[in-house]
Structure 1
Amino acid sequence: MTENIGTAGIHHVEEVGKINRELIEKALYMRCRSFLAQVQANLLTETIYEFDKSKKNLSQAHAHLKEVRNELEIKVSERTSHLTDEIRKRKEIEKELRAQSAKKSEFLSTAAHEFRTPLTSICGYSEVLTSRKVDDRETTQSYARKIHEEALYLTRIIEDLLDLSHIQSLSFSKANSQRINLNDFMNDEIAYWKELKPRYQFILENMAGSIDWDTHTDAMQKILKNIYGNAVKYSEEGSKIITQIERAGDKVRVTILDEGVGMTGEQVSHVFDEFYRGKNIRHIEGTGLGASIARRFVEALEGSIWVESEYKVGTKVILEFNQFILGSE
């Protein structure tokens, strides 16, 4: 019996040991699983973190790339716009140069014709006179008068060219100005033109009263010579050429109206261009310099000039000056 008890005890101890081993193994297994789960969780967390970090870096890189691309597009657009402007400006300059060249070529052709016509007359009449084929005094005087007229015309052309070339160097100031009464000055000018062109009706309308004015009479005479000259040139004999004097605020305004051929809107836009002549007046003698010369002198006096015209009705030239005006009521 004692042996049985000992055997049973040993068996019990073995069972307990077996159970303990199983418990230990389960505990170790659970700890291993827990450890592995923790490792997996840590790895997953790190992976998610790295993924988020990579995603953030990728997003930042994409944003930077987009910003760089936008900046590049802006620079390309600006450069393209700059190049487009440069090309446009160059084309405009080239167009203007071609237009100027065409105008100068037209002027040279016109000037050559204008010079040739009176020179041909002078040569023809003088040849007849020097050949002594004319015996009567009346014919001789007639030929001499025509030579004189053509010579005067040539002189006017040369004066226009000289005015145009010299006016840029002119300088007007109060120190070398002359005080005039504008009404008296214009009366003298009108009287001169009445005598020079008696078949035209020169009329002066003074609506400003007496105006004493410090100005440059030579420049004013050049201005009026070209304006009146054009008014006569492009108007029929017997028509009116009216000059109006009036005050316009602190300025004095001189308006010259004629009843001539008038101009289209296109012609008015080019009226102050050097060498420009409208197609409908090319049969009339002229170089296309008168209005340009008048404008240059007006601007030298710090004044303004503009033209209003209606085709086949007439033209109005307006002058305004505010320099050295000492108006008296």
Structure 2
Amino acid sequence: MRVLVVGATGFVGGRLIESLRSAGHDVVAFSRSASRSGFPADVETFEGDLGDPASLEGLCEDVDVAYYLIHSLTAENFAELDRTYARRFRELASAAGVDRVIYLSGISGDERNLSPHLASRREVESVLEVGRFDLTVLRAAIIIGAGSASFRIVDDLTDRLPVMAVPKWVRTPCQPIGIDDAVAYLVGVLDVEETRGRIYDIGGPTVWSYESLLQLTAEEKGKRILIVPVPVMSPRLSSHWLRLTTDVQYAIAQPLVESMRNPVTVDPERDLQSVVPIERTPIEIAVRRALAEG
């Protein structure tokens, strides 16, 4: 199968390409820096920019399946850009006869009072679902792995603040997933026809809070931290607090932390594990691996 990965040089994209190659697929890697990213010789690279239509000619030709992994968090108008890019890709894929598109989105709990980041993810889903291809959406919470911006925030906090006065969202429930499991699900849906045209949640085997995830990460590094939730600190205010506590680019950290007000746990009725069963990695092990690789 000829598979296109849009966003190939990102945190998920590079790992996904490795797994697709191992599964015997022919892979096309697309990004703005694809030709300079050191992909194996058997990976075809396509360098272009979804913001520049002239650079996209032929992108989806002879492609059976495309993974869409684009999120424009570094721009102030990221929602507008994500909408434009998704429409542009939808038209290219539809015109070329792409059979399936798989989009990695985000869990957002009860779908009410969504952060701008999660609302944008939903909008991209809506844009893609009207294409002339079968769309599969996988929604994930925080993905644990070296290179994950969300996990980097957690890691940085445990390095810098032995005593933390933190926003009350630290007690929001979340269901993180290790990067290896996220990739296994992304590849696994290709072999399960019933996943066409469906939306699924993906998560690890256990539910955590951000507070317990911080404690776990600190313990894995041999540290002890004291966390004191402060109820008056709003998600928007706490995003400015991140400027002092993490090296993650602020334009990325701000929308991510604003999303932490939403409970992000797997809905049992949409749990991909019931359709594509994998041996899920305990989050303790996923954190240990991420720290070792970071």
Q: TM-score, normalised by structure 2?
A: 0.23
Q: Higher Cα Rg: structure 1 or 2?
A: 1
**Higher RCO structure (Cα 8 Å, ≥6 apart):** 2
Q: TM-score, normalised by structure 1?
A: 0.22
Greater share of helix residues, 1 or 2? Answer: 1
